[in-house]
Structure 1
Amino acid sequence: MTTRKKERGAVAVEMAILLPLLLLILVGIIEFGRVLNVQVSLTQAAREGARYAAVNYDKGGLNVSGVALAAAPSLNGLGVTVTDNASSCKPGSNVKVTTSVSLTSMSGFLDAGFFGSPGLFPMNLKGEGVMRCGG
């Protein structure tokens, strides 16, 4: 019975040592999933913008940026920049749409300067879409 009482404190100490490590791994998994989601959404938005510009190149007043951002609603509020060369699109040439964002950390654990480290965030992500004008 005396050995059980002595081990109770050991379990608490082990948990106190392992819990921060487990939480850091959990936060890392969440941050990685978010970065992956934003990267896929940026690429999808760029492809949709390029497709829109390639099909509607001969119409005036193309809103490539609006179409690209509407194609990826998960990017709302992130400050995404959309650049394109749709104005110079002619049959047989390519239109290129680029989406980019400087993504900050949700948790702050992986930011620059946290724990005195260079950090992973802010992370600059970019998506590209290229299509031939006029199909």
Structure 2
Amino acid sequence: MAVEFGLVLPLLLMIIFVIIEFGHAYNVQISVTHAAREAARTMAITQDWSDAQDAAVASSPSLSPGDIQFPSAPSCVAGAPVEVVLTYPLPGLTGLLPSGINVTGKAAMQCGG
């Protein structure tokens, strides 16, 4: 019995760790996409990139504000869409993920609409 448990335990732990990492990565992806959506929405309404960045940070409290990578200020012409693409480095929880993985969130809104 102990031998079988010793053979199966590493596999079960690996499955649990993969589930934890996948859930965390999915949560970060949703948060980054939501931050991009809020930045695009604020930019479309106010045409102020500083306000858009503040809205992105405020809408994603689970992300570290200093790690969100904002692009240069997009232009916002009335009737045209403004697109915001944010990137965020994915931190690993269990040590299974290699470093250097970035999560990208994209959103577009019509300016002045």
Task: Give TM-score scaled by structure 1 length.
Answer: 0.75
Higher Rg of the two aligned structures? 1
Over the matched positions of the two proteins, sequence identity in percent amounts to 40
TM superposition shift of 1:110: 3.5
Any gaps of 5 or more consecutive residues in structure 1? 1-10, 112-120
| TM-score (normalizing by structure 2) | 0.88
Q: How far apart are residue 40 of structure 1 and its match? A: 0.8
Runs of 4+ displaced beyond 3 Å: none
1:106 to 88, 93, 108: 93
- Alignment-derived partner of residue 57 in structure 2: 69
Whether the 8 Å contact between 2:32 and 2:104 is mirrored in structure 1 is: yes
With a CA cutoff of 8 Å and minimum separation of 6, indicate the structure with the bigger relative contact order. 2
Q: Gaps (5+ residues) in structure 2?
A: none
Deviation at 1:61, TM superposition (A): 6.6
- CA-to-partner distance for each residue in 1:56-110, whole Å, 9 max, x for gaps? 12xx573221211111111126711122544x21211221111101213211133
The secondary structure found in structure 2 opposite 1:19 is helix
The answer to whether 1:126 aligns with 2:104 is yes
| Number of residue pairs matched by the alignment | 113
